[in-house]
Copies of this chain bind each other. A is one copy, B any other.
Amino acid sequence: MDAATASVARPSGDVESLIRLAVADMAAVDALIVERMQSPVAVIPALAEHLIAAGGKRLRPLLTVAAARLAGIEGGAHHRLAAAVEFIHTATLLHDDVVDGSQLRRGKVAAHLIWGAASSVLVGDYLFARAFELMVETDSIRALGILSRASSVIAEGEVLQLTRAHDLKLTQDVYLEIIGAKTAELFAAAAESGAVAAGAPEARIQALRAYGMNLGMAFQLVDDALDYGGTTEALGKNAGDDFREGKATLPLLLAIARTAGREDAFWEKAMGHPGDQTEADFRRAREIIVGCGALQATLDLAGSYADAAKAALEVFPAGEWRHALEGLADFAVSRRA
């Protein structure tokens, strides 16, 4: 499938259908999130609220809710699991921003620049622990197993990324392994735990896990593409951040491979000392990445993950939840921010 076919064949999808279907569930999840991030130690709710109120689309807890609903849940265990998933995600964001020295998160100044790195580390720990308290309340050892396993895979992926992030010879396989661990695993676990909470048969649990995993891959690939294609306002983080930090993401890795011999001098100059880059370097890199087809190849790969996500849902009968999840997979690729 070439790029032109891909962009013609794929519906743009949307996240709004899912948000609409899940509105009551997500209100319950939000209430739990606000309740459980409280503490008499004032800096904890202040810092947590800064990040959580900025919100974004709450994709991961939305996945838990949608998976639970698609699998026919009764009762409210999925609300606790969804809130736990959001806390795990928030904890990793807090720690990531400290580790990367990021300036912006969700369009706001990163928490560690306001409250200090120490508070960000410790409030991350607090939210992570609170996530496990929420899971314990659901009484589901299996959901606890899924999300504790996901948490160790994420941390492992982050360490792997830390040690390999600036390696411009990273293969596509290792790159996909890293984003699988640091991003897609939580999408997978979020959906899987929702299905488990609903008591779904094993095949449906695995189908929802596969949906989440493939969706997560698509999202991360598009994120990495947008860093060379989007604008700062639309992204809520600075376009070009990955490039300036010297991060080896797929668009860059593919472009370096595709322009070997021709642009080596430029890549060495620009990525050898990322701190010395100019804005012109970023514009030039973007030109090369777009021009050699690396950006489109990244989006195409994202598209094939989105297709796999949709295919995984075929074990479920047609219905509004399945349809909305299919739309989310398309949206993951078509979004521009």
| Residues of chain A having any CB pair with chain B under 8 Å | 39, 41-44, 91-92, 95, 98-99, 117-119, 121-126, 128-130, 132-133, 135-136, 139, 141, 144-145, 148-149, 151-152, 154-156, 158-160, 162-163
Q: List 27 A-B contacts (CB under 8 A).
A: A39-B159, A43-B162, A43-B163, A91-B125, A92-B125, A95-B121, A95-B125, A98-B118, A99-B121, A119-B159, A122-B158, A124-B125, A125-B128, A125-B151, A125-B154, A126-B159, A128-B128, A129-B148, A129-B149, A132-B132, A132-B151, A133-B145, A133-B148, A135-B148, A136-B144, A136-B145, A136-B148
**Residues of B contacting A162 with CB < 8 Å?**
43, 118-119, 122
Given A99-B121, A132-B144, A133-B148, CB of A41 within 8 Å of CB of B139: no
The 10 closest A-B pairs by CB, nearest first: A132-B148, A129-B151, A129-B152, A126-B155, A99-B118, A125-B155, A136-B145, A133-B148, A41-B160, A122-B159
Copies in the complex: 2
CB distance from A45 to the nearest CB of B (A): 11
**Residues of B contacting A41 with CB < 8 Å?**
156, 159-160, 163
Nearest to A36 among chain B residues (CB) is: B152
Chain A contact residues: helix, strand, loop or mixed: helix
Q: Is the CB of A122 within 8 A of B155?
A: yes
Across the interface, A126 reaches (CB within 8 A) one of B119, B132, B156, namely B156
Q: How far is the CA of A122 from the CA of B133 in the complex (A)?
A: 21
Q: How far is the CA of A155 from the CA of B123 in the complex (A)?
A: 7
Q: Is the CB of A159 within 8 A of B44?
A: yes
Known: A98-B117, A119-B162. 11 other contacts (CB 8 A): A95-B121, A122-B155, A122-B158, A122-B162, A123-B155, A128-B151, A129-B151, A129-B155, A132-B148, A133-B145, A136-B144
**Residues of B contacting A123 with CB < 8 Å?**
155, 159
**Residues of B contacting A124 with CB < 8 Å?**
125
Nearest to A132 among chain B residues (CB) is: B148
Q: How far is the CA of A99 from the CA of B155 in the complex (A)?
A: 19
Across the interface, A98 reaches (CB within 8 A) one of B43, B44, B121, B149, namely B121
Q: How far is the CA of A160 from the CA of B44 in the complex (A)?
A: 9
Q: How far is the CA of A190 from the CA of B139 in the complex (A)?
A: 21
Q: Name, among A39, A91, A121, A141, the residue most crowded by chain B CB atoms within 10 Å (CB to CB).
A: A121
Q: How far is the CA of A145 from the CA of B155 in the complex (A)?
A: 22
Nearest to A125 among chain B residues (CB) is: B155
**Residues of B contacting A44 with CB < 8 Å?**
156, 159
**Residues of B contacting A92 with CB < 8 Å?**
125
Q: How far is the CA of A125 from the CA of B163 in the complex (A)?
A: 16
CB distance from A86 to the nearest CB of B (A): 16
Given A41-B163, A43-B163, CB of A122 within 8 Å of CB of B145: no
Q: How far is the CA of A124 from the CA of B155 in the complex (A)?
A: 9
**Residues of B contacting A130 with CB < 8 Å?**
152
Across the interface, A43 reaches (CB within 8 A) one of B122, B126, B148, B159, namely B159
Q: Name, among A44, A119, A148, A154, the residue most crowded by chain B CB atoms within 10 Å (CB to CB).
A: A148
**Residues of B contacting A121 with CB < 8 Å?**
95, 98-99, 121
Q: Name, among A124, A125, A139, A144, the residue most crowded by chain B CB atoms within 10 Å (CB to CB).
A: A125
